[in-house]
């Protein structure tokens, strides 16, 4: 009933400890007969190597950590799955770690991934404790990259999507449909992505010689989208199109307009952002900006592993391109009564 160790395998198989270790590590310098003997012994004994011992002996864990706060986001979900698969292909495992809101304060210190040498590298996914994390990770000399950073010029490697371009394209799409009264619902200032998307909107409007109208939502969520539209209508604003900084906001906005008797997209066009899972499930289907989640994850892994094995001395940050997905919530603007 006690834990079976490599020594038991040695005994059972009749070869030396070193040979067993070699089999474990797929070394080619083991005679086939011996390999079989060892494999058989392992099987019989139900042997599994001790990861602690291996990590200790070779100085690395084969684990990559990723930190996140929310689980309820299609984009993060997609990124994480991509990371997981890329990592697997490289022989690494992924350990996620959620930062509770409560941890927000002393987060960096309490984080198990950072605590000790539990992982070989870390991916920071859109964290707000970015500054502390970066400091702590640099101090501990743990290789890391950041996906979706929020600090303007972090001194770290980042993997991002061009949110400025996304905002620009979204607005441009509306402009091309003949809209001129285009309102933007922007997410919290805290998000660099929100700020960039807004800049993109403003740029597109400026280029069209149109005055921007932006409403600041307190959160990236449905309720805020709803409230934003309601207050805007109360104030007499009559946009013919809305570019929402996130799909949740867009969904809330749609709800609100419908509540006021608007038909989408006849009376109002709506563009969201992120292509959340519900975007193509609701009615009308939401036109939105999609982030290349797979690519984001893959790039993060590629760069991080480069940093770990030191193959590339000077890794560079990456900025990817988003894509406009046109669905049914936007239409050409036709004046009507």
* Interface mask toward DNA for 3-42; x: CB under 7 A: x-xxx-------xxxxx-xx-xx--xxxx-xx--------
Dist. CA 31–CA 35, nearest whole Å = 6
Look up residue 321 and give its two tokens.
Answer: 């391109």
* Interface mask toward its own copies for 170-199; x: CB under 8 A: ------------------------------
User: Residue 193 touches which of its own copies, DNA, none (CB < 5 to 8 A by kind)?
Assistant: none
* Interface mask toward its own copies for 279-318; x: CB under 8 A: --xxx-----------------------------------
For residue 288, the cross-strand partners are 325
Q: Note whether 56 binds DNA by CB under 7 A.
A: yes
Q: Note whether 24 binds its own copies by CB under 8 A.
A: no
Dist. CA 165–CA 273, nearest whole Å = 12
User: Residue 226 touches which of its own copies, DNA, none (CB < 5 to 8 A by kind)?
Assistant: its own copies
User: Residue 6 touches which of DNA, its own copies, none (CB < 5 to 8 A by kind)?
Assistant: DNA
User: Residue 34 touches which of DNA, its own copies, none (CB < 5 to 8 A by kind)?
Assistant: DNA
27 C-beta neighbours (distance < 10 Å), count: 12
Q: Note whether 53 binds its own copies by CB under 8 A.
A: yes
Q: Note whether 226 binds its own copies by CB under 8 A.
A: yes
* Stretch in the footprint of its own copies (CB under 8 A) among 68-76, 167-175, 303-311, 326-334: 68-76
Packing angle between helix 32-45 and helix 6-13, nearest 10 degrees? Answer: 120
Dist. CA 329–CA 306, nearest whole Å = 42
Query: Which residue, 262 or 277, has its beta carbon nearer to its own copies?
Result: 277
By CB under 8 A, how many residues form the interface with its own copies? 56
230 in helix, strand or coil? helix
Q: How far is CA 191 from CA 136, 152, 218, 312, in A?
A: 21, 10, 11, 30
Q: How far is CA 88 from CA 57, 85, 122, 237, 248, in A?
A: 22, 5, 15, 52, 32
Q: Note whether 327 binds its own copies by CB under 8 A.
A: no
User: Residue 229 touches which of its own copies, DNA, none (CB < 5 to 8 A by kind)?
Assistant: none
Q: How far is CA 211 from CA 5, 167, 183, 206, 328, in A?
A: 72, 16, 10, 7, 26
Q: Which of 11, 43, 44, 50 binds DNA (CB under 7 A)?
A: 50
Q: Supply the DSSP string of 274-293, one letter for each residue.
A: S--TTTTTSSSPPBEEE--H
| Of residues 153, 159, 114, the one with CA closest to residue 302 | 159
Task: State which of positions 129-188 bind DNA (CB under 7 A).
Answer: none
Q: Name every residue whose Cβ is closer than 8 Å to that of residue 162 and which is 6 or more positions away in sequence.
A: 196, 319, 320, 321, 322
Q: Supply the DSSP string of 15-56, one letter for each residue.
A: S-HHHHHHHHTT-S-S-HHHHHHHHHHHHHHT----HHHHHH
Smallest distance, Å, CB 235 to its own copies? 20
14 C-beta neighbours (distance < 10 Å), count: 11
Query: Which residue, 53 or 326, has its beta carbon nearer to DNA?
Result: 53
Residues of this chain that interact with DNA (CB under 7 A) are: 3, 5-7, 15-19, 21-22, 24-25, 28-31, 33-34, 47, 49-50, 53-54, 56-59
Residues of this chain that interact with its own copies (CB under 8 A) are: 3, 46, 48-56, 59, 61, 63, 70-74, 76-77, 80-81, 84-85, 88, 93-98, 100, 102, 110, 112, 115-118, 139-140, 221-223, 226, 251-252, 255-256, 259, 277-278, 281-283
């Amino acid at each position: 009933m006690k834990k079976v160790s490599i020594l038991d395998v040695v005994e059972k198989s009749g070869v030396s400890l070193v040979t067993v270790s070699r089999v474990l590590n797929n070394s080619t310098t083991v005679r086939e007969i011996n390999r079989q003997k060892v494999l058989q012994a392992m099987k019989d004994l139900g042997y599994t190597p001790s990861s602690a011992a291996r990590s200790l002996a070779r100085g690395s864990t084969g684990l990559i950590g990723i930190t996140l706060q929310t689980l309820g986001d299609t984009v993060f979900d997609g990124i994480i799955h991509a990371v997981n698969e890329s990592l697997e292909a490289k022989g690494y495992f992924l350990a996620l770690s959620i930062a509770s809101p409560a941890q927000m304060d002393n987060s960096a210190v309490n984080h198990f991934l950072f605590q000790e040498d539990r992982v070989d590298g870390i991916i920071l996914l859109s964290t707000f404790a970015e500054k502390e994390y970066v400091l702590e990770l640099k101090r501990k000399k743990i290789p890391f990259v950041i996906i979706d950073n929020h600090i303007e010029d972090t001194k770290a490697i980042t993997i991002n999507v061009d949110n400025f371009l996304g905002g620009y394209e979204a607005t441009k799409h509306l402009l091309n449909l003949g809209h001129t009264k285009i309102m933007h619902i922007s997410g919290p200032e805290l998000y660099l992505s929100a700020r960039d998307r807004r800049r993109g909107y403003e740029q597109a409007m400026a280029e069209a010689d149109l005055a921007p109208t932006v409403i600041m939502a307190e959160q990236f969520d449905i309720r805020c989208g709803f409230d934003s539209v309601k207050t805007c209508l109360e104030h007499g604003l009559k946009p013919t199109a809305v570019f929402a900084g996130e799909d949740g906001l867009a969904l809330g906005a749609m709800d609100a307009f419908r509540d006021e008797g608007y038909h989408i997209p006849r009376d109002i066009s709506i563009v969201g952002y992120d292509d959340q899972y519900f975007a193509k499930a609701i009615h009308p289907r939401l036109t939105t900006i999609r982030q290349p989640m797979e690519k984001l994850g893959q790039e993060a892994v590629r760069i991080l592993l480069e940093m770990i094995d030191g193959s590339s001395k000077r890794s560079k940050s990456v900025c990817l391109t988003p894509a406009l997905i046109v669905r049914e919530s936007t239409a050409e603007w036709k004046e009507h009564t």
